[in-house]
């Protein structure tokens, strides 16, 4: 981007409160544009927490299987409720790791109780941020069992699932993304 007169560039910098200091070889207007883009990203992130857990999962696009399971289990209204809830959310790739036919079987109406058990094992009452999760050795789930929490070399696991993204804040709680589906004890 060609550099405009220093007067216009200075005006652009002053108009953007998030403008970063330009490096010696960077045009001040280019620095202002970068700062404006960064401010836009921050605004988008702030909007995410105005959605509830279900709407946030839908908008993310990587939780289609989880959302379908929540719908089949009749848990949509609960997870859209006041909460707060902490959801350890397996991605579509996590569900794909299950043995062939597992998801389809769980989604059948006759298996609704088992599906509810599996899904509620991924939910912890309250809003438990990552800074608090790492202090736990177990987490009491809505399902009733306790999931084991472990921190090894900076990596957090809940049961056998690795937490790959943390602290996705929503209007009624928080989502932590995991790379595997976790199953309650004595779940066959």
Residue 84 near residue 127 (C-beta atoms within 8 A) = yes
Q: Quote the radius of gyration of the chain (alpha carbons, Å).
A: 22
24, β-bridge pairs:
none
Upper half-sphere CA count for residue 128 (Cβ side, 13 Å): 20
> Strand 85-90 and strand 173-178: pairing?
parallel
Residue 175 has pLDDT above 90, yes or no: yes
The 146-152 sheet, strands edge to edge: 123-125, 85-90, 173-178, 161-170, 155-158, 146-152, 138-140
Q: What is the phi-psi region of residue 154: left when phi exceeds 0, alpha when psi lies from -120 to 50, beta otherwise?
A: left
What does the pLDDT read at residue 22? 39
Q: Provide the 3-class DSSP secondary structure of residue 110.
A: helix
Q: Is the pLDDT of residue 11 over 80?
A: no
> Does residue 119 carry a pLDDT above 90?
yes
Residue-range domain boundaries for the chain: 6-48, 53-178
Q: Determine the pLDDT at residue 49.
A: 62
Q: How far apart are CA 55 and CA 50, in angstroms?
A: 10
Report pLDDT for 20. 37
Please, what sign has the CA dihedral across residues 119, 120, 121, 127?
Answer: positive
Q: What is the pLDDT of residues 25-82, one digit of tens each?
A: 444 444 444 444 444 333 344 445 689 999 999 999 999 999 999 999 999 999 999 9
**pLDDT interval class at 120 (50, 70, 90):** very high
The better pLDDT of the pair 1, 144 is held by: 144
Is the CATH number 1.10.3720.10 carried by domain 53-178?
A: no
- CA dihedral defined by 59, 126, 164, 45, rounded to 10 degrees? 40
């Amino acid at each position: 981007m060609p550099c405009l007169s220093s007067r216009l560039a200075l005006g652009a910098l002053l108009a953007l409160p998030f403008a970063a200091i330009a490096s010696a070889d960077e045009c001040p207007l280019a620095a202002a544009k970068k700062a404006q883009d960064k401010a836009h990203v921050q605004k988008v992130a702030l909007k995410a927490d105005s959605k509830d857990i279900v709407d946030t999962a839908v908008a993310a696009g990587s939780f289609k299987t989880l959302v379908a399971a929540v719908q089949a289990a009749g848990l949509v209204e609960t997870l859209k409720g006041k909460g707060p809830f902490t959801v350890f959310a397996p991605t579509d790739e996590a569900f794909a790791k299950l043995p062939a036919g597992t998801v389809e079987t769980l989604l059948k109406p006759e298996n609704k109780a088992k599906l509810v058990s599996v899904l509620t094992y991924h939910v912890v009452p309250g809003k438990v941020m990552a800074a608090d999760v790492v202090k736990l050795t177990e987490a009491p789930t809505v399902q009733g069992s306790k999931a084991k929490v472990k921190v090894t070399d900076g990596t957090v696991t809940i049961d056998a699932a690795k937490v790959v993204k943390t602290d996705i804040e929503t209007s009624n709680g928080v989502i932590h993304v995991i790379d595997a589906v976790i199953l309650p004890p004595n779940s066959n």
